[in-house]
Structure 1
Amino acid sequence: MSTTRTARFVQNTLSTALYQLTAMVMGFITPRLMILYYGSEINGLIVSVTEFLTYFKMLEAGLAASVNVALYEPLARRDHQAVSGIASAARLFYNAAGWMFTGLTVAFTIAYPFFVPVRDLNGLPVSHLSVMVLILAMGLSGMLEFFTMARYRVLIAADQRTYVVSLASMSSLMLSTALIVVLPYLGMDVIVVRLAASLTILVRSVLLSRYAKKHYPYVDPHAPPNRAALSTRWDALSVELTNVFQQGAGAILGTVVTRDAGLLSVYGVYHMVTVGLWGILKMGTTGINSIFGNLLVSGRKTAFQRAYRDFECLYYMLVSILFGAAAVLIVPFVTLYTHGVTDAANYDAPLLGMLIIAEAVTNHAKMPMDLMITTSGKFREVRSHCFWQIALTVVCGTGLGLLLMPYGTMRALCGIVAGVCVGNLARTVFQLRFIPKEVTGIAWQKTAWRIARMFVTTVLIAAPCLLLVDPPQRFFSWAMYGVMLVLYASAVTLAVTWLFDRKALRSLLERLTFMLRHIGR
């Protein structure tokens, strides 16, 4: 690993770690405030609508991945004309995607209130008009992002400067959370709160715009657009849509099948934990695409294979540690988190908690291979994988949900989450057949063995604690228990990796030593 790539990796990782920690803390604060001040059903509405809006925002996801891949080579060659052509095409496509997002949001706003009934904290029905205005207020941030910021974000990320995006995003997030904390205390309506939070996206837009104009003065966003360079955008879109749909499938299918806003709030609180852990994993994956992309375009196959082997080993180790501990801690955490809420008993759902952990682990089993698709730009080749994953998720999730619906909405939701796990496992199998052969050149059996070991290690960490240890009853004891559990999980994972993947572990330690020496200079 060169000094430049190492420096960028360290900068990106540390800044992303800071942002993800901030996002995780802020993400834990806001749902409880929504439940306390506005009720579980309003929070459930916010959870549901957020997932749908996130899915709509994926109109730009394929474009972002395509722009990143297209920019790797001209940025490396410092071909300013080529960079400008791609940036100009990206601007036009982002504007078009912004109008499409706006249209989808308006249509969704009109339909949603007639489909999911919502009551406020006092049990009174919320009017359809109020729900519509609330959804529009929440969707405003997405509209602003398309038209004001997205093209700067992908340019900066493609140049391995993700730390800039992280710091700008953190500034916007902290302001948004401050408003969400203060405004309910002042008695403001939830519509005002969400509208104010949406407008904070402008802070990030201004910061990224100024940075891009200062550090990339040669980029002309109005140059003749190179549309051909982004020809893979629709293929990339299918990959990104699938990833986002899977992450939000529980809330989306739960909305359609159960139509229970209160239950969606329960799902949202449990899912919040795995989202926070995904944020921790992002700390080590941000900037990885551009690093691997640089190795691929430079033809350094051996260096690429070694880097991927080490990354895959590290990623699955982290998944085992985080989700092995989370399987033990998630239910007691939610119990403590919802203490004092009027309908706190509804949040005592251990089966749902375990299934959400299983959903996360099965999703992360394929994540390193997903990153290689983005890095290599082989989006078209995996479109069928995406189709079958979504199809299996919808069929299995909806089928199990409807089958269990007569036994209660909670069991129906558990069936939906189990269906999502089936879709994740199917996609993992598809990726194992494609990525080792077409991208990495590493035997698929090695990746399959690491995935199997990750599942087994997670169970080895969680099972003894779930069977033998009583859950803590206070936040302080829960936190202390969590620290000890993470240490135990780390020891188990390191021992298993040392026994079965010693070469990769030694290489990881060498890389860590190299980075620490560089930081110390």
Structure 2
Amino acid sequence: MLLVEMNRNKALALNSVASLLQQIVALICGLIVPRLILSTFGSAANGTVASISQFISITSLIQGGVTGATRVAFYGPIATGDMKKASVVYKTSQSFYTKFALALTGYVAVLAVVYPKFVETPFGYIDALLLVLVLGMNAIFESMFGIPSQLLMFADQKAYFNTFLQIFCTIGNAFVSVILIKLGCSLLVVKFVAALIFILRPIILNVYVRRHYAIDTSVEKDKSVLSQSNAALAKSIAFYVHSSTDNLVITACLNVMWVSVYSVHRYVVSSISNLVAAILGNTEALFGQMIARDEQDAIKRDVPMYDLMSKMLSTVFFFTCIILITPFVSLYTGGISDIDYYQPLFATLLCFAEYVYCTSLTYNNMIMAAGHIKQTQWISVTEAIINIVLSLVLVKWIGIIGVALGTLIAFTFNTVANIIYMKKYIFDMSLGWIIKVYLANLVAGVLATCLFGNIVNAHITGFISFFIWAAVVFAGVCLIDVVLNYFFFKNETKSVLLKISKKFAR
């Protein structure tokens, strides 16, 4: 048992570091390429790409239920080494995703014909049609070749292989895109070459899994192993609403230039969210193995520790983001005057909404790891309804601020509901502990914002001063949060700091 735990912790550390590196690379590359697109092709072109991408991602709702059910179905066989059952799960899910890829191809073709007719873009009809086809290529290849292999390695805590492939493709895409834009190529050509680079990842991943795992292709498919796919669809819908619906609402109710404003802010916030998740690690798979092996002592020891870690990481990163996001966006979009990117209230609400989401990762991961998908689908459905209805109503009154506010309220509901369910049916974590942890970290974040907010706005005049102050603010928020948590949760805070340091040491 000790050896199992050591190997599990080592894998978690490697996944965390690989994921963190990938998020840093994605953040840097993702700032460079969109900035070049904005300055070269304009906000309308940037907003059109974001809008089309979200329409294509709607299809994730169809596959999302199977994705969640497949991931959960892999936990038991992988934990016990039952490769025959794992092969059944793999073959059954692969059959679904092959059919889905064919359907997705048809959807992208229809979208390519319809989208330019109903949405005003800066492109001609043919160019807009081809742009939709190009942006849909990666999703088609991902479904055809990559998803079952990715989920198998995720359950086996070997997601780092997929992560390193993502790093390679992200760097390659940024390098080639910059060269093509500087050479004066069209946006269509830039996105086509990027699609060619990104389709390499699912193909390589598929080959790797077939060579390194004893997948028995002679087994019969068994749809019962994915019996929770309909319930998982509810969680997929909620996640889609969380990550994608805002763009669609803004496209429908405002225009693609406001989509560009949203996407610039959203990119920063989602990058911070990914950084938090990367450092926290693949806790869903970790909890899944603990539950599959009925390791109650490990659950009682580790789950509260990871809960505190999620709060501390979220507080440090997101309150730093709240302080710095508006001056950063002002610098990043400097010289672009076709629409006003200065939206401080919207930026703050968007950051805080994602903060609420990240602080609740432990509860959602415990629910998924325990396989309680069907039992909690009502939470996901209600969250999605709240998000969509409030966003549609409020965007008419207060623009993109209403979209962010609707998202914040929906996330708050989801967090409270997940806490109540987890306590009642999976792991009875102390409610007093949870409330106390939230309050301590919120107080730390608010104190840091009051201390640094006005100072930063007055002293940032360029990117050099921005990065200097970013380092100062990050260190200051980190110090305040660690000190306050150490005062209230001395032993637990020491465990969190030790766990984070060990991850990077390994």
Give the TM-score taking structure 2 as reference length. 0.94
Partner of 1:341: 336
Which of 263, 271, 285 does residue 268 from structure 1 map onto? 263
Which of 383, 394, 398 does residue 400 from structure 1 map onto? 394
How much has 1:510 moved relative to structure 2? 4.7
Matched, 1:48 2:48: no
Which of 86, 90, 98 does residue 93 from structure 2 map onto? 90
Matched, 1:296 2:291: yes
Paired with 1:509 and 1:337, the residues of 2 have a C-alpha distance of 33
Matched, 1:129 2:129: no
How much has 1:433 moved relative to structure 2? 1.6
Partner of 2:7: 4
How much has 1:393 moved relative to structure 2? 1.1
Which of 206, 212, 225 does residue 221 from structure 2 map onto? 225
**Per-residue Cα deviation, 1:313-371 (whole angstroms, up to 9, x for no partner):** 0111011111111111111111111123343x611222222222122223223222222
Partner of 1:433: 420
Partner of 2:80: 77
Which of 307, 311, 314 does residue 309 from structure 2 map onto? 314
**Per-residue Cα deviation, 1:67-118 (whole angstroms, up to 9, x for no partner):** 2221222222222221211111011111122233334333433333233212
Partner of 1:244: 240
Provide structure 1 residue ranges, at least 5 long, that are not aligned to the other structure.
120-125, 405-410
CA contact 2:16–2:503 (8 Å) conserved in 1 = no
How much has 1:515 moved relative to structure 2? 5.5
**What letter matches 2:99 in structure 1?**
A
Partner of 1:416: 403
For 1:102-141, list aligned pairs within 5 A. Answer: 102-119=105-122, 126-141=123-138
Paired with 2:404 and 2:109, the residues of 1 have a C-alpha distance of 28
**Per-residue Cα deviation, 1:231-253 (whole angstroms, up to 9, x for no partner):** 11221121122123212232121
Paired with 2:389 and 2:503, the residues of 1 have a C-alpha distance of 46
Partner of 2:27: 24
Which of 210, 226, 231 does residue 213 from structure 1 map onto? 210
Instruction: Tell me the secondary structure at the aligned position of residue 241 of structure 1.
Output: helix
Instruction: Tell me the secondary structure at the aligned position of residue 346 of structure 1.
Output: coil
How much has 1:280 moved relative to structure 2? 0.8
How much has 1:201 moved relative to structure 2? 2.4
How much has 1:14 moved relative to structure 2? 1.5
Partner of 2:496: 508
CA contact 1:59–1:101 (8 Å) conserved in 2 = no
The number of equivalent residue pairs is 502
Partner of 1:123: none
Instruction: Tell me the secondary structure at the aligned position of residue 388 of structure 1.
Output: helix
Paired with 1:222 and 1:130, the residues of 2 have a C-alpha distance of 45
Paired with 1:295 and 1:243, the residues of 2 have a C-alpha distance of 25
Paired with 1:91 and 1:285, the residues of 2 have a C-alpha distance of 29
CA contact 1:254–1:413 (8 Å) conserved in 2 = yes
Paired with 1:468 and 1:516, the residues of 2 have a C-alpha distance of 32
**What letter matches 2:323 in structure 1?**
V
How much has 1:62 moved relative to structure 2? 2.7
Matched, 1:387 2:345: no
**Per-residue Cα deviation, 1:136-186 (whole angstroms, up to 9, x for no partner):** 210110001100221211111111101111011111222222222122222
Paired with 2:268 and 2:501, the residues of 1 have a C-alpha distance of 32
How much has 1:512 moved relative to structure 2? 5.0
**What letter matches 1:171 in structure 2?**
F
CA contact 1:320–1:454 (8 Å) conserved in 2 = yes
Paired with 1:16 and 1:454, the residues of 2 have a C-alpha distance of 24
Query: Could you tell me the percent identity over the aligned residues?
Result: 21
For 1:342-491, list aligned pairs within 5 A. Answer: 342-343=337-338, 346-402=340-396, 404=397, 411-469=398-456, 470-491=458-479
Paired with 1:244 and 1:277, the residues of 2 have a C-alpha distance of 18
How much has 1:266 moved relative to structure 2? 1.1
How much has 1:514 moved relative to structure 2? 5.9
Q: Taking structure 1 as reference, are residues 177 and 58 closer, same or farther at Cα in structure 2, changes over 3 Å only?
A: farther
Partner of 1:493: 481
CA contact 1:17–1:280 (8 Å) conserved in 2 = yes
CA contact 2:13–2:504 (8 Å) conserved in 1 = no
**What letter matches 1:54 in structure 2?**
S
Q: Taking structure 1 as reference, are residues 455 and 131 closer, same or farther at Cα in structure 2, changes over 3 Å only?
A: farther
Partner of 1:408: none
Paired with 1:448 and 1:255, the residues of 2 have a C-alpha distance of 38
Paired with 1:511 and 1:362, the residues of 2 have a C-alpha distance of 23
Instruction: Tell me the secondary structure at the aligned position of residue 244 of structure 1.
Output: helix
**What letter matches 2:364 in structure 1?**
D
**What letter matches 2:163 in structure 1?**
S
Q: Which stretch shifts more, 10-19 or 318-327? A: 10-19
CA contact 1:20–1:282 (8 Å) conserved in 2 = no
Q: Taking structure 1 as reference, are residues 511 and 178 closer, same or farther at Cα in structure 2, changes over 3 Å only?
A: closer
Instruction: Tell me the secondary structure at the aligned position of residue 234 of structure 1.
Output: helix
Q: Taking structure 1 as reference, are residues 413 and 185 closer, same or farther at Cα in structure 2, changes over 3 Å only?
A: same
Provide structure 2 residue ranges, at least 5 long, that are not aligned to the other structure.
none
Q: Taking structure 1 as reference, are residues 471 and 435 closer, same or farther at Cα in structure 2, changes over 3 Å only?
A: farther
Q: Taking structure 1 as reference, are residues 445 and 114 closer, same or farther at Cα in structure 2, changes over 3 Å only?
A: farther
**What letter matches 1:152 in structure 2?**
S
CA contact 2:55–2:248 (8 Å) conserved in 1 = yes
For 1:159-198, list aligned pairs within 5 A. Answer: 159-198=156-195
CA contact 2:46–2:260 (8 Å) conserved in 1 = yes
Paired with 2:265 and 2:15, the residues of 1 have a C-alpha distance of 29
CA contact 2:277–2:358 (8 Å) conserved in 1 = no
Paired with 1:70 and 1:208, the residues of 2 have a C-alpha distance of 20
**Per-residue Cα deviation, 1:440-476 (whole angstroms, up to 9, x for no partner):** 2213342233234333332222123223441401101
Instruction: Tell me the secondary structure at the aligned position of residue 442 of structure 1.
Output: coil
**What letter matches 1:98 in structure 2?**
A
**Per-residue Cα deviation, 1:164-217 (whole angstroms, up to 9, x for no partner):** 11011111222222222122222222112112211222321232123212211x
Paired with 1:504 and 1:19, the residues of 2 have a C-alpha distance of 28
**Per-residue Cα deviation, 1:22-60 (whole angstroms, up to 9, x for no partner):** 111111112111112211101011122223323323433
**What letter matches 1:341 in structure 2?**
I
How much has 1:502 moved relative to structure 2? 2.4
Q: Which stretch shifts more, 431-440 or 466-475? A: 466-475
Paired with 2:70 and 2:228, the residues of 1 have a C-alpha distance of 9
What's the Cα RMSD here? 2.0
**Per-residue Cα deviation, 1:475-503 (whole angstroms, up to 9, x for no partner):** 01110100010110011111221122223
Give the TM-score taking structure 1 as reference length. 0.91
How much has 1:19 moved relative to structure 2? 1.1
CA contact 1:389–1:426 (8 Å) conserved in 2 = yes
